[in-house]
């Protein structure tokens, strides 16, 4: 089986990896440079895509036929002016995907592999794992809002290791030898990660940790925040006060807000509600998935219904009736032009101010639908008009049917669809 990727939208720095620096108003194939030739498909499965303001990271996975061992590779494209793509290249725009060599062996990290990744505006984060060893979290790129998580002053180097040994839980230190990163998410300038670790008394704890911009309360309590420099420059423990005994299973970040999905299906949140992006969330108790745009929150309940709340200025809420008064906005269902029970939703992907949804129906090819901001053509619909109710984006025509959509991602004015094609 071969895998490929198509993208559309904003592309001034080559972040779509289609070989140009022009916005793409329709889905175009991404180009992979494997060091020997340029290809439109790869044999490695695309696991995840993370995007910043003008750069993109991609995580792929392959399996060695002889040993059965899996190997993961990190790819990048787009702007690297702040080192957010490590050693990809610091001069000029990069408009194709190339492998990023983190030089792990040179730093005594041989056999570590990238497992998780995410991006803030001009900063990137990669979680490295090796069996039998503690996870490592590295950051690279801009530190303008203390995005790196390593303090106010940083040395000039490509990779930084985020440390947690300064943290205390009930006066007990974290045992770094057992640290595991469960998840990591980033907004424009704040980061939240979920860690599982052992404390110095041998007890196990799961902690929510954050750093970066915090003025709007997106990292919780602001009482210790320096009002002149409203950032947490190194990781802090975030207290999820409303639900202390209900484990967090997913975290989604917007520009100035953070949302936490709990094991019980309830949502908790922190940060700004200026755009009603967290209005009414505590009235839902059967949530299965949550995502955030810059100024909105989207979630799927147990019935498969997609709800949205927040800014509606660009059609982000997926409703035919536009709501302009933030105080009147509450979570309401997105208006799909079909009965939700007739199709199974695999997932949604939230970009800056647009959303993609992946559906499947027995006997038919999976479909990708989208709505919201479309100034850069990120809907891939040959238009730059905002889309106020969901629009079918893939497959576009009969000749797309052989390329099966298996994954979706959305970034800052960009959209991505991973495709699989059975080898003949």
**pLDDT mean over 198-226:** 94
Per-domain residue ranges of the chain: 102-239
Q: Residue 35: pLDDT band by 50, 70, 90 thresholds?
A: confident
Per the CB < 8 A criterion, the answer to whether 259 and 290 are in contact is: yes
Alpha-carbon distance of 223 to 157, in angstroms, equals 33
Of 410, 417, 420, which Cα lies nearest the Cα of 56?
410
Give Cβ neighbours of residue 363 (< 8 Å, ≥ 6 apart).
Answer: none
DSSP 344-370: EEEEEEE-SSEEEEEEEETTEEEEEEE
Per the CB < 8 A criterion, the answer to whether 102 and 77 are in contact is: no
**pLDDT mean over 19-41:** 92
pLDDT of 288 reads 94
Mean pLDDT of the chain: 91
Per the CB < 8 A criterion, the answer to whether 252 and 259 are in contact is: yes
DSSP-derived pairing of the beta strands 97-99 and 32-33: parallel
pLDDT of 156 reads 66
pLDDT of 92 reads 46
- Residue 392 has which token pair? 């079918």
Return the percentage of the chain with pLDDT > 90, whole number.
Answer: 74
Better pLDDT: 177 or 126: 126
pLDDT of 155 reads 66
Helix (H) / strand (E) containing 283: none
Per-residue pLDDT tens over the stretch 67-119:
778 899 999 999 999 999 998 755 445 799 999 989 888 888 888 999 999 99
* Residue 249: count of CB within 10 angstroms of its CB: 18
Per-residue pLDDT tens over the stretch 312-365:
999 999 998 765 555 456 899 999 988 766 567 778 999 999 999 999 877 778
Better pLDDT: 322 or 219: 219
Of 302, 331, 303, 304, which Cα lies nearest the Cα of 319?
331
**pLDDT mean over 185-199:** 96
**pLDDT mean over 354-382:** 92
Per-residue pLDDT tens over the stretch 382-416:
999 999 999 999 998 766 767 899 999 999 999 99
Alpha-carbon distance of 211 to 162, in angstroms, equals 10
Return the percentage of the chain with pLDDT > 70, whole number.
Answer: 93
Per the CB < 8 A criterion, the answer to whether 354 and 316 are in contact is: yes
- Cα distances from 249 to residues 184, 253, 297, 367, in angstroms, run 12, 14, 16, 27
- Residue 339 has which token pair? 């009965």
Q: Measured in whole angstroms, how far is the alpha carbon of residue 336 from the centre of its chain? A: 24
Per the CB < 8 A criterion, the answer to whether 345 and 358 are in contact is: yes
pLDDT of 90 reads 52
Torsion sign (Cα): 212, 217, 219, 222? positive
Return the residue matching tokens 């991006």: 119
Residue 310: phi and psi, rounded to 5, are 130, -155
- Cα distances from 46 to residues 140, 329, 337, 396, in angstroms, run 22, 36, 30, 21
Question: What does R_g of the chain's alpha carbons equal in angstroms?
Answer: 21
Length of the chain (residues): 424
| Residue 87, SS3 per DSSP | helix
Per-residue pLDDT tens over the stretch 131-157:
999 999 999 999 999 999 999 877 667
**pLDDT mean over 366-387:** 96
pLDDT of 419 reads 95
Alpha-carbon distance of 361 to 345, in angstroms, equals 9
Of 91, 52, 29, 40, which Cα lies nearest the Cα of 414?
52
Q: Which CATH number fits domain 102-239: 3.40.50.2000, 1.10.760.10, 1.20.1440.120, 2.130.10.30?
A: 2.130.10.30
Alpha-carbon distance of 170 to 114, in angstroms, equals 32
Of 256, 251, 254, 255, which Cα lies nearest the Cα of 268?
251
């Amino acid at each position: 089986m071969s895998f490929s990727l198509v993208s559309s939208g904003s592309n001034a720095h080559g972040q779509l990896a289609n070989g140009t620096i022009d916005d793409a108003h329709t889905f175009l194939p991404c180009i992979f440079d494997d060091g020997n030739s340029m290809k439109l498909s790869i044999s490695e499965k695309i696991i995840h895509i993370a995007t910043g303001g003008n750069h993109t990271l991609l995580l792929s996975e392959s399996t060695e036929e002889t040993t059965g061992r899996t190997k993961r590779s990190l790819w990048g494209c787009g702007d690297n002016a702040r080192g957010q793509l490590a050693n990809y290249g610091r001069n000029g725009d990069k408009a194709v995907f190339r492998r990023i060599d983190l030089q792990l062996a040179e730093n005594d990290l041989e056999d570590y592999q990238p497992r998780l990744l995410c991006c803030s505006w001009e900063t990137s984060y990669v979680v490295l794992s090796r069996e039998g060893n503690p996870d490592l979290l590295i950051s690279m790129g801009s530190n303008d809002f203390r995005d790196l998580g390593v303090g106010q002053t940083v040395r000039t180097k490509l990779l930084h290791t985020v440390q947690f040994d300064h943290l205390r839980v009930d006066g007990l230190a974290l045992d770094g030898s057992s640290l595991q990163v469960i998840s990591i998410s980033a907004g424009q300038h704040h980061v939240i990660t979920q860690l599982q670790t052992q404390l110095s008394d041998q007890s196990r704890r799961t902690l929510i940790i954050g750093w970066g911009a915090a003025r709007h309360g997106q990292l919780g309590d602001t009482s210790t925040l320096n009002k002149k420099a409203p950032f947490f420059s190194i990781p802090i423990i975030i207290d999820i006060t409303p639900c202390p005994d209900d484990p967090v299973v997913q975290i989604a970040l917007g520009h100035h807000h953070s949302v936490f999905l709990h094991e019980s299906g309830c949502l908790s949140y922190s940060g700004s509600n200026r755009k009603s992006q967290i209005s009414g969330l505590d009235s839902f108790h059967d949530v299965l998935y949550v995502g955030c745009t810059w100024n909105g929150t989207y979630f799927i309940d147990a019935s498969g219904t997609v709800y949205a709340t927040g800014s509606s200025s660009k059609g982000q809420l997926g409703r035919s009736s536009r709501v302009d008064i933030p105080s009147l906005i509450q979570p309401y269902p997105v208006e799909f032009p079909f009965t939700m029970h007739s199709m199974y939703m695999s997932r949604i992907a939230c970009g800056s101010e647009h959303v993609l949804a992946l559906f499947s129906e027995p006997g038919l090819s999976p479909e990708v639908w989208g709505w919201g901001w479309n100034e850069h053509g990120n809907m891939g619909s040959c238009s730059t008009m905002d889309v106020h109710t969901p629009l079918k984006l893939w497959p576009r025509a009969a000749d797309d049917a052989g390329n099966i959509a298996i994954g979706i991602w959305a970034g800052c004015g960009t959209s991505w669809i991973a495709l699989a094609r059975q080898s003949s």
